[in-house]
A and B are shown apart, each in its own frame.
Chain A
Amino acid sequence: MVYKQRLDGRKDDELRPIEAKAGVIPNATGSASFKIGKTWALAAVYGPRELFPKFLQNPKEGVLRCHYGMMPFSGSGERVRPGSNRRAQEIAMVIGKALEPVVDLSAFPNSVVDVYIDLPQTDAGTRCAGLSAASMALADAGIPMKDMVSSVAVGKVDNRIVADLDYREEHIEEFNPESEGASVSDIPVAVIHNTGEVVLLQMDGKISKIELVTALRLAQKVTEKIYLEQKRALLERFPRE
């Protein structure tokens, strides 16, 4: 009844294959695509632009507004109803709060910067992929930022602390007959690269204190890999022939 090997054969600290690209949407001010395994997030940044209705304006600094959405065909199960829902609103909020500490909009009072995150395909870890993409898109848009935000989920599957859970691992009981009665905890984490400050930390499931500390250590280690991919993608936007 122990989880001996990960379902896709990865090592505990191994991430799914990452494919990151900046500047994928020509009409947006800045944009990015971030694929991790089968999860695929697109982020587009528009602005700074005028904010209406006017009562939402902040005369001290610009407003950062996030939108998150899974595309109707994105999941492996039922069609996802398009448009906002309770879950999408919450995720948009936590992503916005994770970006706020790094984004500096003091030069753009009364304006808004819109971040649209859409997921053409999902296989768990969407808020992390979305956040990593959003951070790249903001940098691509030339918005002043203190640092980059890199995000990935860690967690406990049965007895193992692993990084970047996919959908099958999150529902291990369904997909692995040996793991009957196993508990899973999924912890999306986002960190600011230079300081290692945690800007997003949520959890689904149960975990002990020691295991949580181990998981967070693992998160600090693997978000660095995300950061390197983000950096590579942003630099690739400007090829040196």
Chain B
Amino acid sequence: MGTLKAQERNIVIPGEILAEGMDYLPGENTYREQENIYSKVLGLVTLVGRVIKITPLSGPYVLKIGDKIIAQVTDITMNGWRVSTNTAYTAMLNVKDATTRFVKKEEDLSKILAIGDYVVVRIVNVTSQNLIDVIMKEPGLHKISGGRIISLNSQKVPRLIGKQGSMISLIKERTGCEITVGQNGLVWLKGTPEGEYLAEQAVHLVEEKAHLEGLTVRMEKFLSTGVKA
């Protein structure tokens, strides 16, 4: 009979034993050595049926097909743009995936996107070597103008969005900002200067308190009183 060695929602460090015996299955960020399951990162223990996985509390963004990210144009090539993704890897944005209008062969691509511009894009392909293709031709994907870009740890993005977007819509509503969250941890805020400042503080609050429960309650308190609890 297998035994669970770590409790759900407990914080564990790499190498900590999670379960003994074959009754449990190793999920994300864990590994099995002989009969035992160990943690591979610093994070929270999550149990899904018999599968034990670790929700990381820190760490790099792992590229995933279908993710919406915020990226910055770093170079212009023959047939598109190279964008940096806030990871160790850059992505390619092809002209035909960037705009719906016809782009002439000799056209200056910097007129469409210049170096340094930020864009909201979707990842459509990632290879084993982490070569990335992104597109900007869907609703909700666009070039960014105005506002400010801030970053938080990408592992905390789900907390910033909340269940069914509850957290992010709360922040949007109270600060009057337009907010776009990239899965890679870059966040675009646009609104009044005061609103943007408040929203930025709210994002920092999520980053600090992401491991705690009742984050929405804390956020509501912060947005109404301005005090971080």
Q: Which residues of A contact B (CB under 8 A)?
A: 29-30, 47-51, 59, 62, 102, 104, 107-112, 139-148, 192-194, 230-231, 234-235, 238, 240-241
Contact = CB atoms under 8 A, between A and B. Distances in A.
B31 interface: yes
Nearest to A108: B88
B62 A146 contact: no
Given A48-B87, A109-B129, A193-B15, A147 B38 contact: yes
Interface stretch (B53-61, B96-104, B112-120, B191-199): B53-61
A137 to B, nearest CB: 11
A228 B23 CA distance: 28
Interface in B119-134: 128-130
Interface residues on B, range: 20 to 34
Contacts of A112: 88
B212 A241 contact: yes
B40 interface: yes
Q: Identify the interface centre among A48, A59, A142: most chain B CB within 10 Å of its CB.
A: A142
Residue among A47, A102, A143, A148 with the most chain B CB within 10 A? Answer: A143
Contacts of B43: 142
Nearest to A148: B15
Contact of B212 (A104, A108, A240): A240
Contact of A111 (B59, B89, B128): B89
A144 B40 contact: yes
B8 to A, nearest CB: 14
Contact of B15 (A29, A107, A194): A194
Interface-central residue, B31, B40, B62, by most chain A CB under 10 Å: B40
Given A50-B88, A111-B89, A234-B42, A141 B11 contact: no
Contacts of A145: 14-15, 40-41
Given A144-B40, A146-B38, A238 B211 contact: yes
Nearest to B31: A146
A235 B13 CA distance: 8
Contacts of A230: 13
Contacts of B130: 108-110
Nearest to A238: B211
Given A146-B31, A146-B40, A48 B58 contact: no
Contacts of A192: 15
A192 B15 CA distance: 9
B63 to A, nearest CB: 10
B155 interface: yes
A140 B15 contact: no
A175 to B, nearest CB: 38
Contact of A141 (B13, B15, B16, B59): B59
Contacts of A59: 129
18 contacts: A29-B58, A29-B60, A50-B88, A102-B14, A102-B15, A108-B60, A109-B130, A110-B129, A111-B89, A139-B42, A140-B58, A141-B59, A143-B60, A144-B41, A146-B40, A193-B15, A194-B17, A241-B212
B13 A142 contact: no
Q: Please name the 6 residue pairs, one residue from A and one from B, whose CB atoms are nearest each other, closest first.
A: A142-B59, A147-B15, A111-B88, A142-B58, A145-B14, A48-B88
A109 B31 CA distance: 20
Given A110-B129, A111-B89, A241-B212, A146 B15 contact: yes
Given A59-B129, A102-B15, 7 more contacts: A30-B58, A48-B60, A50-B88, A146-B15, A147-B38, A230-B13, A241-B212
Contacts of A108: 60, 88, 130
A112 B88 CA distance: 8
B42 to A, nearest CB: 5
A238 B41 contact: no
A142 B42 contact: yes
A235 to B, nearest CB: 6
Nearest to A142: B59
B155 A142 contact: yes
A169 to B, nearest CB: 31
B193 to A, nearest CB: 24
